[in-house]
Amino acid sequence: MNEVKKRSVGIIGIGSHVPEKVLTNKDLEAIVETSDEWIVDRTGIRERRIADQETATSDLAYQAALKALADAKVSADEIDLVIVATATPDMFFPSTACLVQNRIGATKAAAFDLAAGCSGFAYGLVVGTQFVQNGTYKKVLVIGAETLSKILDWTDRNTCVLFGDGAGAVVLGEVEEGYGILGVELGADGSGGDLLKMPAGGSRMPASAQTVADRLHYVHMSGNDVFKFAVKVMGEAAAKALEHAGLSSEDVDCLIPHQANIRIIQSAAKRLKMPMDKVMVNVDKYGNTSSASIPIALNEAVKSGKVKKNDVVVVVGFGAGLTWASCVLKWCGEDL
C-alpha cells in the first residue's frame, strides 16, 4: 500500500494589531517603585501597549485576523478552522475563537481556544498545520492574542513592568513542496506549573470576596525560576526542531523568539551560535505579549524585509505550564 504523501503547509497570510495606548517605563515610575534604567537593564523593555477598559482579547484578535485574511487574499468563508491561543480569554466560555469566528463571518469554520501560555501560538501552528497536512481542512486561521494588562497586579513591580497587550494572526494553507513547516518540537513540564499562574477564578479556587481581597486573580510568577527555565529550554527546543527538519543553526536566516526578556533572547541566540543581527527583537516596544509575541514579531520581520522568500525561519517560545515550542519554516513569499 502506497503511503499518502503529506501536504506541505505554510503561512500564506499574516497580520498583527496592538492597542494605541503606549505605557512607557517613565509612566510606570509614577505607578510603582521602579525606574526606566532598572527595567531596561534587566528586561530590555522600554514601553508596552495597553488595551483600554472596553477592549477585550477578542477585539485585538479580530483586528489581527482581518489583516491576516487580507494578506492571504482569503475570505472568511474559506476558513475551515479558527484557533485562538490565549491566556486571557474574554471569558471561560464560550471560547474566544468562537467569538472571533462569528465576528469575522467564518461561518463554515470550527473553532477552539488553546492554552499553552506564551508557547500558545507555536503550539497553534503545529496543531493547525496537522489539520491541513492530513487533508481534513484547507485553510486554518491561527491567532495569538492577549490583554495581560487586565490580570496584572499594578502594585507588583516584579510583574507589572513585563507585560503588554496585542495580537498576531496567520492563515495556514497548502504551499509548494519544500516550503512551509519543516520541523517542530513541543514539550511540557507540569511540575513547574506553580511557577507562573493566575491562582484563583477556576474550579480549584473559585472567585470569592476573599480571593479578590487576597489579590489572587492576578499573574503570580517566580521570576528567577522561570528565567532559568527559559534560558535552558529556548535554545534546546529550537535546536531539536532544526534537527527534526534536517537542518542546523547555520541554515537559519532569522530567529523569531518569544519576546519575554532581552537576556533570554540573547542567551538563546548564543546557544544556537547565531549572531544577534539574525534575531528579531521588538521586546523594547511591546514587552511580553505572551502568545501574541511571536506572531507580532514575525509580522514585523516579514513587513520590514528581515524575512524574505526562501529564508529559513525558526520560531521558539516558552510559557506557563511550563511549556515550550519551536517550529522551523521555509518562508513562502507573496507569490506562492
When pLDDT is cut at 50, 70 and 90, the band that residue 292 belongs to is very high
Is residue 258 part of the annotated active site? The answer reads yes
- Of 179, 212, 232, the residue at which a domain comes to its end is 179
- Whether residue 306 has pLDDT greater than 90: yes
Q: Check residue 333 and give its pLDDT.
A: 75
Considering the domain architecture, whether residues 235 and 322 belong to the same structural domain is answered as yes
In order of 64, 84, 177, 284, the CA distances from 81 in angstroms are: 16, 10, 23, 33
Considering the domain architecture, whether residues 175 and 208 belong to the same structural domain is answered as no
Does residue 124 lie within any of the structural domains? yes
In order of 188, 238, 247, the CA distances from 85 in angstroms are: 16, 20, 28
Nearest of 144, 304, 330 to residue 246 by alpha carbon? 330
Does residue 36 lie within any of the structural domains? yes
- Of 164, 179, 194, the residue at which a domain comes to its end is 179
Does residue 247 lie within any of the structural domains? yes
Q: Check residue 289 and give its pLDDT.
A: 98
> What is the CATH number for 93?
3.40.47.10
How many domains does the chain divide into?
Answer: 2
- Which one of the listed residues 25, 220, 254, 258 is annotated catalytic? 258
Q: Check residue 210 and give its pLDDT.
A: 98
Summarised one tens digit per residue, pLDDT across range 120-172 is: 999 999 999 999 999 999 999 999 999 999 999 999 999 999 999 999 999 99
- Which one of the listed residues 118, 160, 254, 332 is annotated catalytic? 118
- Arithmetic mean of pLDDT over the chain: 96
When pLDDT is cut at 50, 70 and 90, the band that residue 245 belongs to is very high
Summarised one tens digit per residue, pLDDT across range 195-209 is: 999 999 999 999 999
Q: Tell me the C-alpha distance between 264 and 227, whole Å.
A: 7
- Which one of the listed residues 25, 261, 288, 299 is annotated catalytic? 288
Considering the domain architecture, whether residues 277 and 209 belong to the same structural domain is answered as yes
Q: How confident is the model over 253-261, as a mean pLDDT? A: 98
Q: Tell me the C-alpha distance between 180 and 280, whole Å.
A: 19
- Of 137, 162, 179, the residue at which a domain comes to its end is 179
Does residue 57 lie within any of the structural domains? yes
Domain that residue 229 falls in: 181-330
Q: Check residue 335 and give its pLDDT.
A: 47
Does residue 336 lie within any of the structural domains? no
Q: Check residue 6 and give its pLDDT.
A: 83
- Whether residue 218 has pLDDT greater than 50: yes
Summarised one tens digit per residue, pLDDT across range 161-181 is: 999 999 999 999 999 999 999
Does residue 199 lie within any of the structural domains? yes
Considering the domain architecture, whether residues 138 and 271 belong to the same structural domain is answered as no
- Whether residue 4 has pLDDT greater than 70: no
Summarised one tens digit per residue, pLDDT across range 56-103 is: 999 999 999 999 999 999 999 999 999 999 999 999 999 999 999 999
Does residue 335 lie within any of the structural domains? no
Is residue 244 part of the annotated active site? The answer reads no
